[in-house]
Amino acid sequence: MEVSKLIKSKEPDARTTCTLTKEGGDSLACLTSEFGLTQKRIFSSIFEQPSLLDAVLDFAKTIGDTPEQRQTRKSVVIGKKDLKSLNEISKSNGLSRDLLIESTIRFLALLLIKDKDGRIAKHKEALGRLNDLWATMGTLEKELFELLADGDPILERYSKVVVVLINLVNEIEAEIATGANIDPEGI
């Protein structure tokens, strides 16, 4: 067996220059800073899923090509294979490559923001329910301390459950306030 076959080669990068609207530039900044995506990953995520690509093409046709609004020149990093696909898709659909790049960036940003907003709304609802649980747990804690002796293993373990709940509530509040991610392994 050849050792070289065990090592997957990394797809080479390409740089391409495009012009973006203010919305496109803002969306690119959002994707990289808020969602931690690389420029290369933005494009590969679209080309990996045909249904997303179709949605981007529809979005591109909706926003239309307005070169006079694209004021910002930007050099973006994209996989060579994705750049080739981008050029072919642009040509076959009669869309400018800059419009396709702009549409990809803006569409993905809108999609991720909508998903995040939906998740935050659900987490706000969950926070309300956890606060209700917390109120019940406070009453139960008092009852358990009256019922059981100091050092009882039930009290020890119950205290750990309370700490885990407090930490979860704090992480949900931080996510709602700042967008911080909740650690699924957190205790």
The pTM of the full predicted model, rounded to 2 decimals, is: 0.76
What is the residue-level pLDDT of the chain in tens, covering all 187 positions? Answer: 454 444 555 668 889 999 999 999 999 999 999 899 999 999 998 888 888 999 999 999 998 877 777 788 999 999 999 999 999 999 999 999 999 999 999 999 999 999 999 999 999 999 999 999 999 998 998 999 999 998 899 999 998 999 999 999 999 999 999 888 888 887 7
- 10: which DSSP letter? P
Angle, CA of 79, 80 and 81, to the nearest 5°:
90
**Residue range 106-133, pLDDT digits in tens:** 999 999 999 999 999 999 999 999 999 9
- Residue 53's nearest CA partner among 11, 29, 86 is 86
Q: What is the per-residue pLDDT for 26?
A: 95
Q: What is the per-residue pLDDT for 133?
A: 94
Domain boundaries, the chain: 11-112, 116-178
Q: What is the per-residue pLDDT for 8?
A: 53
Q: What is the per-residue pLDDT for 5?
A: 47
Q: What is the per-residue pLDDT for 3?
A: 46
What is the gyration radius of the CA atoms in the chain, in angstroms?
25
Q: Which residue is associated with the tokens 């869309």?
A: 95
- 113: which DSSP letter? H
Q: Report CA 78 to chain centroid distance, whole Å.
A: 19
| Residue 157 contacts residue 111 (beta carbons within 8 Å) | no
